[in-house]
Amino acid sequence: MSSALDRPQQTSPVSAPPDGTLLSSRELDPTDHVIRLSSGIEIGGREIVLMAGPCAVEDVDQLVLAAETVSAGGARILRGGAYKPRSSPYSFQGLGRRGLLMLRSTADRLGMAMVTEVVAPEDVPLVADYADILQIGARNMANYRLLEEAGRSMRPVLLKRGLGSTIDELLLAAEYVLAQGNPDVALCERGIRTFETAMRFTLDIGAIPILKQRTRLPVVLDPSHAAGAAELVGPLARAGIAAGADALLVEVHPNPREALCDGAQSLGPRQFAQLAKEVGRVAAAVDRRTG
State which fold the 42-286 domain adopts: TIM Barrel (3.20.20)
pLDDT tens profile 242-258: 999 999 999 999 999 99
For Cα atoms 276, 278, 284, give the angle at the middle one, nearest 5 degrees.
100
pTM value is 0.92
Q: Are the C-beta atoms of 158 and 115 separated by less than 8 Å?
A: yes
Query: pLDDT at position 11, please?
Result: 63
Helix residue ranges per DSSP H, the chain: 60-72, 97-110, 124-128, 144-153, 167-178, 207-214, 223-227, 230-243, 269-285
Per-residue pLDDT at 63: 96
In this predicted structure, which of 10-19, 168-177, 215-224 has the lowest mean pLDDT? 10-19
Residue-wise pLDDT for 81-116, tens only, equals 998 766 667 565 668 899 999 999 999 999 999 999
